[in-house]
Each structure stands twice: as structure tokens, then as C-alpha cells.
Amino acid sequence: MTAVPVAAGPPVPTAARRSSDSFWHAAWYRYRQNRLALVAGVVAVFILLVGILAPWIAPHSDTATDLSSVLAGASWHHWLGTDQIGRDTLTRAIWGDRTSMTVAIGAPVVGLVIGLPLGILAGWWGGVFDWVTLRLYELFQMVPTILAALLFIIVFGVNVWKLALFIGITLWVGFSRLARAQYLALRERDFVHAARALGAPSWRITLVHILPNAVGPIIVFFVQQIPYVIFTAAGFSFLGLGIQDPLADWGKMINDSVTYLPIDALLVLVPIGCIGLACLSFSFLGDGLRDALDPTSR
Amino acid sequence: MVSYLAQRFLSLLFTLLLATIAIFGMMHAVPGGPFTFTQGVLSPAAMHNIMVRYGLAEPIWRQYLNWLWQLLHGYLGIPFEEPTMTVNQLIASAWPITLIVGGLTIVLSYTLGLFFGCIAAIKHNTWIDSVITAVVSTIGVALPNYVIGFLMIEVFAVRLGWLPVGGWGTVEDVIMPVIAFSLYPMALMERYTRASTLEVTYADYVRMGRARGLSERHLLWKYILRTSLIPLITIMGPWIPNILTGSIFIEATFSLPGLGAYFTTASLRRDYPLIMALVLIVAALWGLCFILSDIAYVLVDPRVRLQGVSR
């Protein structure tokens, strides 16, 4: 009886840290074995870096128009040609990367911020709260995600941050379901019972003890959403419902130049190649992470 | 069975009601209206006449009840962008195109997906399996369908000139949209078929059958495929409304005059009646297919009872 308050503090965190250290080591080892995932990871990091460094590496100004060389085609001065008002295609693609990556990372963050707390509460508390959350899932499942995002755009208008927000809102159910399932599975485990027996408060058990154990699948899910977001965001811009001038965006580049396809195919092929490459690399990165972090899922 | 179905349908109706109220409220909550920009120069009196004409001068709850009342009579209102037609006529002219493309897409993607999935599972851990899985997961899952669509346009329409670039009217117009649209559901189908077939392949009763000396063909058709296809109903059933209401992106890529185009234009012009009608169609189909796939599940698999299905 006297020993209990003494044991309540330090031992648990250190043990948790040591075990998670070896978990991340093992995961990194598994990830390295997968050559495709390794290449995809490098490409994904490259794409992110290009987006971050866009203002410094773009060869021209992203908004400068050069009406003397409109639809000029590839040349030494404009490596990938120019668009219908003489903007450098390579520069637009690099700046479009920045826009795409903003939305591609921002939207899952929004979904995570909304979905994770709700899922944790539903999985941990259960009862009425769980019931309400489940009904919310059903309600949100009734409307297809792309349609829901479209409705938000209609109602509230759009810019880069709003686009990330709207697509992110449609992602919350997935994050929430995942977190709920994780917490349902983990809450009866011995280490949770032990923590509770030692008198740890609920918030401490859910955040300090369970969350590190649930974080692997959540990271995997996060990365797996990225290609979907790139696809959707570029799709909206391609329809003219997303990013607006003068901002550059891959989807909008397609929209602007699709009529000039017979004159200069590069105008469409460049943004398409960018979208394709980004989707592929993040998709394979996600698959690799799944195999590395969540070995039981296969 | 009947009470279960009644319960499901009632909850579907309730959800639809909630969803339409939410969307109606949201659309009207935003400042400005559908005519603020197009007819903004008109005098206030003329503007008021337009608002009265389209029933926009009344309070919102009244407008919603009017809309609901019209809906119960099968009338969806007048679209703002084409005042000479009704929404019903507009949808009647656009949806068949979407339905044709969607129907062909379902047939093509489900049969091919099933076929490739079975092949990959039967030839598990051979080069055939890895090629199919690699190609499917690359082209089908990871690449957006409009990206593939534009590549096809560039190659087959612009360079080779074999097929039309887009539009609607001839039989050739269907080919590229259907193929581009099929790839993603086909890939899904392939993945699930492969996974569920593999699961059954190593089941004890199959091994038992093999021990009893049943032929491999008999085992495959009677024992493996029949059981492995059951999960596909619940997984792929809900996809059907998705395909039937069309892909906005595919229709834009190939300039098909289907429902998808109206989603875009109605959104841009804040065409309330048209948006409501489109949302209603999608949500209702979506919910119906969920219910139908649950029923089909029960009919096909004798191990499942309806009481157990309540998720």
C-alpha cells in the first residue's frame, strides 16, 4: 500500500519510450527493405522541398507575362515552353507544386484535428458519446466526399486555405473511425489497466499511454490521404472551382491550356505529369509506411 | 425482414431530410444571391419581381417548405440558368448520358477487376501476380482518372487521331471516358477479389476438398470463388451510385454533357433548385445502394442474419 504513490510517476514513461524506440528502429528497418517505397519517399521529399523553395528556385517570375513569346514551346530560355499569356511553364509548375503541397498537407491536418479528438473520446468513453459519434459517421457517409467539398466551395467561396479546410473537413470521418477503433482495441490492454490502477487520470492515459501506441496507423492513414487530396484539389482547380489566378496550380494549368493541346502538348502534359508523379510517390510512400509501421495490417 | 427494411428506409428518409435542410440553410446563409451579379444593374423593383418570380422573396423556412412540397409532387423547380426548362427536363436530358457511361463503366470495371483478381490469386506469388498487382496499384489506384484521361486524349485523339477528343454523339465518344473512368473501380475490385480469394484458398475446407480428391477446377468454381465473392457485394455495392452519378472530372475531361457538367455550372452560378436536385439524387441513390447491398449480402450468404447487420 505504501509503495503505490512512489511507483506512479517515472517508471512508466521510460519503459514506454524504450519500447517505442525499438519499434521505430524496426519500422525504419522494414521501410528500408522496400526499395520502391524508398524511391517514392525520396521523390516525395523532393516534391515537398521544391514546393517550399519555390520562390528561390523558379527560373522566372511566376506572374510575369511575356506577350512576345506566347505559346512559344520549349526553348533554351523557357525549358518547358510558355502558356497562352507568356508565363513560363516550368515556373508555373514549381509554384503549382507549392499550392498543391499546401493543400495536400493542410487538408489531412484539418481532418486529423477534427477527427482525432472525436474518435478518441468515442473510443475511450463509449456510451452515449460513442452512439452520437457513430450516428455522425453515418450522416456524413450519406454525402460523397467530393460532393461535400464542392458544396462548401459553392457556399463559402474558395482560396488555398479554404480549399485545404473544405477537403480536410470531408476527411475527418476516416481519421475519427481509425482513432476510435484504435482506442477501442487498446483500452482493455494490460498497460492501460496498470496505468489506471496506479491512479493516472483519464487524460494522461489517453494521451500519454495510449496515443503513442495508436500513432502508427494514424501516420499511415495521414500519408495515404495525401494523393487523394492532390487529386481532388487539382480536380477542383481543373473545373475552375479551385485555385484562382494569379496563383499557380497544376489543375488550373490544365484548365487554362486544354484548348491549346494541339498547339503545344507540353502545356497539358507538364501539369499532368506533376499530378501523376506526386500522387504516385505519396501513394507508394503510404504503402511503404503501412508495411513498416503497421505490419499486422497485411 | 419487413420491419428491418422499414426501419432502414425511415432512417434514410430522415437523413435525407436533415441533409437537404442543412444544405438549403447553408446556401441561403451566404450573402448575395444568384442574381446579384448577373442582374445587378436592375432597379430594386425589377429585382424584387425576379425574386418573387423564383420564390426567393419569402422567408427561408417558407422557401424550404415550398421546395419540399413541390418535391413531393415530383417537381424540382425551375433552374435559374435555363428558365425556359424545368429541372426535371434538364436532368432527364443529361442523366442518360451519365448513365450510359456509368453503366458501361460498371460492367467493364467489375468484370475485368474480378477476372484479374482471380487470376492474381490463383497464380499467387508468381510473376503474373506481381505484374497484375503492380500495374493495377499504379495505374488504377494511384493515378487520378483525369490524368489518365488527358494522356489518352493526347495519344489516341491528338497524336494518332483514332478517337474523338471529346463530346457526345457517336459510339466512339464512349470509349475513352469509360476506360479512364473504369480504372479506379477496376483496381479496387482486383484488390478485394485477390485478397478475399486468397483468404479462402488456404481455408481448411478447401484443403479438405483437395484431400478428398476433388479436381482443382471443381474446387476453384464451387468452393473458392463462390465464398470469396461474398464480401465484394458490401464493398463494391456502395460504389455503384458513385459511378452512376458520374465523375465530375471525367465528364469535364471529355466534355460530356452529363450531370457532372451541371454540378460545376450550378455551383458557379448558385443555381439553388438545380443544386438541391443533384444533391438529392446522389444522396438518395447512395443510401438506397447501401441498403440494397446489405440485403444482397443476406440473400447470398446464409450465415448472415439481418439482426446482426445493424452497424
Looking at residue A202, its pLDDT comes to 83
Instruction: Answer whether residue A232 is part of any domain.
Output: yes
Query: Domain containing A160 — which CATH number?
Result: 1.10.3720.10
Q: Please, what is the average pLDDT of chain B?
A: 79
Q: Which of B23, B154, B264 sits opposite A269 (nearest CB)?
A: B154
Residues of chain A with pLDDT > 70: what percent? 89
Taking residues A174-200, report their average pLDDT: 87
Chain B's closest residue to A282, CA to CA, is B142
Q: Pick the residue with more confidence: B132 or A97?
A: A97
Among B153-167, B184-198, B265-279, B290-304, which is the least confidently predicted range?
B290-304
Looking at residue A2, its pLDDT comes to 40
Total domains in chain A come to: 1
DSSP A39-88: HHHHHHHHHHHHHHTHHHH-SS-SS---TTSTT--S-SSSTT-B-TT--B
Taking residues B192-213, report their average pLDDT: 83
Asked if ipTM goes beyond 0.90, one says no
Residue B84 CA to residue A203 CA, distance in Å, equals: 61
Instruction: Answer whether residue A134 is part of any domain.
Output: yes
Looking at residue A106, its pLDDT comes to 93
Q: Provide the CA B115 distance to its chain's centre, in angstroms.
A: 22
- pTM of the model as a whole: 0.80
Taking residues B8-19, report their average pLDDT: 83
Taking residues B159-164, report their average pLDDT: 79
| Distance of residue A154 Cα from the nearest chain B Cα, in angstroms | 5
Residue B194 CA to residue A77 CA, distance in Å, equals: 50
The CA-based diameter of chain A, rounded to the nearest angstrom, is 86
Taking residues A235-239, report their average pLDDT: 85
Interface of A with B in 107-166 (CB under 8 A): 138-139, 142-144, 146-147, 150-151, 153-156
User: Cβ of A245 under 8 Å from any chain B Cβ?
Assistant: no
Residue among A145, A219, A139, A144 nearest A178 (CA)? A219
Taking residues A160-189, report their average pLDDT: 88
**C-alpha count within 13 angstroms, C-beta hemisphere, residue B181:** 32
Sole residue written with cell 528497418: A29
Among A124-128, A161-165, B103-107, which is the least confidently predicted range?
A124-128
CA-CA-CA-CA dihedral for A8, A14, A18, A23, to nearest 10: 60
Residues of chain B with pLDDT > 70: what percent? 91
Interface of B with A in 262-281 (CB under 8 A): 263-264, 267-268, 270, 275, 279
Q: Is the pLDDT of residue B309 over 50?
A: no
Partners of B27 on chain A (C-beta within 8 Å) are 154-155
* Per-residue pLDDT reduced to its tens digit, B28-47: 777 666 666 666 667 777 77
Mutate to test the interface with A, among B143, B151, B239 (most CBs of A within 10 A): B143
Element (H, E) at B198: helix B172-201
Inter-chain CB proximity A235 and B249 less than 8 Å: yes
Residue A92 CA to residue A211 CA, distance in Å, equals: 41
Q: Please, what is the average pLDDT of chain A?
A: 81
Looking at residue B38, its pLDDT comes to 62
Q: Any bridge partners for residue B260, and if so which?
A: none
Residue among A40, A62, A4 nearest A283 (CA)? A40
Cis? peptide before A246, omega within 30° of 0: yes
Q: Which of A144, A268, A287 sits opposite B282 (nearest CB)?
A: A144
Domain that holds residue A40: 28-59+79-297
Partners of B146 on chain A (C-beta within 8 Å) are 235, 238, 254
Instruction: Answer whether residue A44 is part of any domain.
Output: yes
User: Cβ of A269 under 8 Å from any chain B Cβ?
Assistant: yes
Residue A288 CA to residue A33 CA, distance in Å, equals: 10
| Distance of residue A52 Cα from the nearest chain B Cα, in angstroms | 24
Q: Is the pLDDT of residue A109 over 90?
A: yes
Residue B251 CA to residue B271 CA, distance in Å, equals: 20
Instruction: Provide the residue ranges of all domains of chain B, joining segments of one domain with +.
Output: 92-270
Q: Any bridge partners for residue A88, and if so which?
A: A82
Inter-chain CB proximity B30 and A241 less than 8 Å: no
Q: Is the pLDDT of residue A171 over 80?
A: yes
Residues of chain A with pLDDT > 90: what percent? 10
User: Cβ of A6 under 8 Å from any chain B Cβ?
Assistant: no
Assign residue A83 a region (left: φ > 0; alpha: ψ between -120 and 50; beta: otherwise): beta
Q: Provide the CA B147 distance to its chain's centre, in angstroms.
A: 19
Among A183-187, A270-274, B293-297, B300-304, which is the least confidently predicted range?
B300-304
| Distance of residue A35 Cα from the nearest chain B Cα, in angstroms | 14
Task: Please tell me whether residue A20 adopts helix, strand or coil conformation.
Answer: helix
Sole residue written with cell 522541398: A49
Q: Which of B146, B154, B287 sits opposite A238 (nearest CB)?
A: B146
Can you identify the CATH homologous superfamily of domain B92-270?
A: MetI-like (1.10.3720.10)
Instruction: Answer whether residue A4 is part of any domain.
Output: no
Grade residue A113 by pLDDT with cuts at 50, 70 and 90.
very high
Chain B's closest residue to A257, CA to CA, is B150
- Out of A274-288, B78-92, B135-149, the most confident range is A274-288
Question: What contacts B29, CB < 8 A, 6 or more positions away?
Answer: A155
Taking residues B152-179, report their average pLDDT: 80
Taking residues A224-228, report their average pLDDT: 88
Assign residue A244 a region (left: φ > 0; alpha: ψ between -120 and 50; beta: otherwise): beta
Residue A267 CA to residue A264 CA, distance in Å, equals: 6
Taking residues B55-69, report their average pLDDT: 80
Looking at residue A4, its pLDDT comes to 42
Residue among A231, A76, A172, A16 nearest B143 (CA)? A231
Size of interface A-B (CB pairs under 8 A): 95
Residue B217 CA to residue B224 CA, distance in Å, equals: 10
Looking at residue A19, its pLDDT comes to 52
Instruction: Answer whether residue A11 is part of any domain.
Output: no
